[in-house]
Every structure is written in C-alpha cells, then in structure tokens.
Amino acid sequence: MHLHPPAHYDHGLVWFRRDLRASDHAALAHALGHCRQVWCVFVFDRQILDPLPRADRRVEFIRESLVDLDAQLHAWGLANGQDGVHLLVCHGDAVAEITRLAQALPVQAVFANHDDEPAALARDARIRGELAHRGVMLHTFKDHVVKERQEVLTQQGRPFGVFTPYKNAWLRSLTEADLAPHDTESVARALAPHPALASRSPGRTDPTGDNREAHWPTPGIPSLKDLGFESTNLSQLRLLPGSAGAATLLEDFLGRIEHYGHARDFPAVKGPSYLSVHLRFGTVSIRALARTAYALHLQGLAGAMPWLNELIWRDFYHQILANHPHVVGHAFKPEYDRIRWEHGKHAETLFAAWCEGRTGYPLVDAAMAQLNQTGYMHNRLRMVVASFLCKDLGLDWRWGERYFAEKLNDFDLAANNGGWQWAASTGCDAQPYFRIFNPVSQSEKFDAEGRFIRRYLPALAGLTNKAIHAPWLAGGVELASAGVVLGTHTPLPVVDHALARQRTLERYAVVKKASD
C-alpha cells in the first residue's frame, strides 16, 4: 500500500532493490524531499542468493551495477560538499539487515519501491511489522512500471485479462504525470555520508550520537568472492551494467528504432533494444523509455509505437501478477490445469534434450545454445522454444518456466510467467491451443539464410540455406559434402512435428470439453 510520508523526518533510509539507479527514482526522490538526512542501502539477500548457482551472470550484473550506483551517489555528494556519501551494502537476510540498520542509524522511516512478486510482498509485510514494532515507518512507491496494480481497469471496474483493450485503456488514461521523472539530483544535498566514514573523519561525529561503528557495513561494494560467487562471461558478452550501460544501449537503439517493428522478429538481425535486463534491475527508468517512445510516436517515427507496445505488454503482465497471484504455479485459466502433461523417465529425457539443445530441430537447438551460453534469448525464439516444449514434447510449461528463471539474465517473474502461459495457451490473452508453431517453418521464415543457426550450431554451417532448417530431410550427398553426419553432428528429431501436433490437439481436448 502506498503511504504518503509526512512533511519531514530527521533521518531516512532508502532501500534499493530492483531499481539500481539514482536518477528518476521514486523512493529516493520522496526520501530526499522529506528527510533532513538520507542514507542509501542495498542488501544482497541470502534468501534469494543462496539457491542460485555459484556462477550467475545476474549476481555479477547487480554487483557491477552497484559500483555504478555508488559512483552516482558519491558524485552527487561531492557536488553538495559531502565527500563521504556512499551506498551501504549488506549481505544477509533482508528483513534482519534492514531492521538492524534502521535501528543503528537510527532512522524514522525506510523508503522503497513496490515489488508485486508474492515472495517480495510477503517479505515487505514482515519487515513492515518489524519496523513498526520499533517505531519506524515503511513507505513504498510505484516505480517499476508506468501503470500498476489497478490503475487501468475495465468499465466494470475489474482488471483486464486481454491485452488490446488494456493497451487502449492504458493509452487513453496516460498523462504527463505518468511519464514525468522524479527529481532526485536537485535535492541530493540531503544525502548523508557513510556513517563509518563520518565517524572517522576529523571534525565529524557519529550521526547517531552514539559510537556504533561496529554495526556499519564496510565501505565499498563487496567482491563476488566475498558474496560466495564466481566470475562469469559477463564482460565477454559486452553486457554493460549500470545506468551507464543502459544509456549506451539506448543511444544505440534510438539510432535504429525506425526499423524495430520489422527487425525485431529476426534473431540474426540487430533489432531489439536489448534493454530488458536493465528494465529488470531498474538501471534505467521505465518512465524515461516510455516517454521517449511516446514522443517519437507522436513525431511519426516508425518503430516507436511497436516499441511502446512492448513496454505496455510489460505493464500488462505486471498487473496480471498483482491481481491474479495464482498464476505463480497455476494456469491463469483454471480449466487448463486439467491438462495431463507427459511425465516419467521419457518426459525427463525429452526435457533434458530441450534444455541442452539436442532436439534435432536446428532453430530450437540454436536458441537453447544462445540461452545457455549468454543468458539471453531473442523474443521470437522464446515463443518458438516454449511452444515446442509444450506442444511438440507435451511437457508442462512450468518446467520451461523454471529453466528460464534459472538461465535468463533478464528473468522477471511477471513477464516470464506471462510468456510461458501465452505459449502454453493457459494464460490471459494467450494464443489458441490449436495454434502450434512449426519449428521448421518458423526457422525458414525468421532465419531464412540460417545465419542464426550457423552462429550457434557451427557443425551445420556447411549445409545449404534450405537444408539447414531440417537436416534429416537432406540427401546423403548433400550431408556428406557439408561434413554432417546425422546423429553425430546434429541429433535426429526427438519427435515428429506432425504426430506431436495431433497428440497436442488430443491433449487439449479436455479443455475444449470443459468449455462446451
């Protein structure tokens, strides 16, 4: 629940979470505007980190983005005569760390931005209680989306379940205030020095009036090793972290946005913005992107509206999660929970082949190689591989959802769940269950020259542009001249698409009967 802070607090604490930037930051702006002194903190939450693999690009991206955020805060502090301004960084249980730090500073209020994931809501409820018990308020604000929760409703006052009418209502209700940036820089003078540095500096005293130096996090951002993690191939992927990285990507994208509406469908083409990981961790403001897209649309620039459309889809899936939390673990449409998916050892073997890119369908296997090697997958390919898992292999969409959650750099529960339920036809505004992507025709249409396949499956590079989409249909002479041996350089298809399509229609018949 959003609570407007009172006119003034002496001391406040801003808790950064999925919003790792200093500019246009709702919670930071409110804190700076209502507190005499403000500290900023990020918690490496062990409840989230401990289950992750020790080499996780997202942890490295967060860590490097915090270095960028710390530099932003420090520069603002220097500009206002506070050379000791730094981000406080803790590592532990978030509820315990924030409660401890709020008491030690001490502050009268903690400021944070909304997070509508069920686990985050439960965490925030716990910490709200812990803080209230100690006389500290928790204020939270909309920041991660343009329109949230129940800001866009049907004429009957209910949340939308279909995208197009939601988009139309979103656009009709859009105001300048929705896209206006939160002013943080002009009020940054309220930023407080790192308490450990302040207590050690000549002429300065512990801001609490009590020497509690042992409680302060050590200045500086902990290394990956300190956090129990290992370096990844993040730097080789040129995935630039922080607000600086987001600005570089945005500048590059705006130079080619005119072709976005068409180019974004082809995985071998530089079509997308590649900003999804920055939106996920808040190193760029959604308001800034939507404001730019809307302004360019009004100017008549081709590509601007398709891009804005994707940003609205993002809001749509977040309001679905906020209003229908049962989608975590269950179909949006309850009748689709009646579907009986394949199970047992054979199903597990098929799933392993899908995860490892060994299905025998080159576009599917190349897409999974891209995901496994880089943590990124092109959006068109996400639809193709998700449809293949559910409707060719007959496997539960939740298996694929979990795998993506482990591998994607830009993993976002709302978007990931929405995308998988769309592909499985179990979700809101999903594709009809009888729409089943043909992995070969998708390959021929969106990677006609096989450029993407050759990039990630180099063993198939010698095949012709026709044969590369379905090597098992090529003649022996052509395979030999390309140096390709079926079953060695590429697996034989694990399923026959035509037969799998028929089984899927039979599998989904239980839903059709339920609705008759």
Known catalytic residues are: 310, 313, 341, 379, 397, 420
The contacts of residue 190 (CB under 8 Å, 6+ apart) are 31, 32, 35, 36, 37, 38
Separation CA 448–CA 268 (nearest Å): 10
Beta bridge partners of 90: 43
Cα dihedral 284, 217, 128, 109 in deg (nearest 10): -80
The whole-angstrom separation of Cα 85 and Cα 192 is 6
CA gap 388, 196 in Å, rounded = 55
Q: Which residues pair with 44 in a beta bridge?
A: 91
Cis peptide bond N-terminal to 106, omega within 30: yes
CA distances from 479 to 304, 337, 459, 461, 464 (A): 44, 44, 11, 11, 9
Paired tokens of 108: 């009268």
Task: Give the DSSP letter of residue 182.
Answer: P
H or E element at residue 173: helix 163-173
Which H/E stretch holds residue 381? helix 379-387
Q: How far apart are CA 512 and CA 516, in angstroms?
A: 6
Beta bridge partners of 16: 42
Residues 93, 96, 101, 102, CA torsion sign? positive
Helix (H, G, I), strand (E, B) or coil at 269: coil
Nearest by Cα to 48 from 115, 107, 105, 113:
115
Q: Of 416, 164, 171, which is closest to residue 280 (Cα–Cα)? A: 416
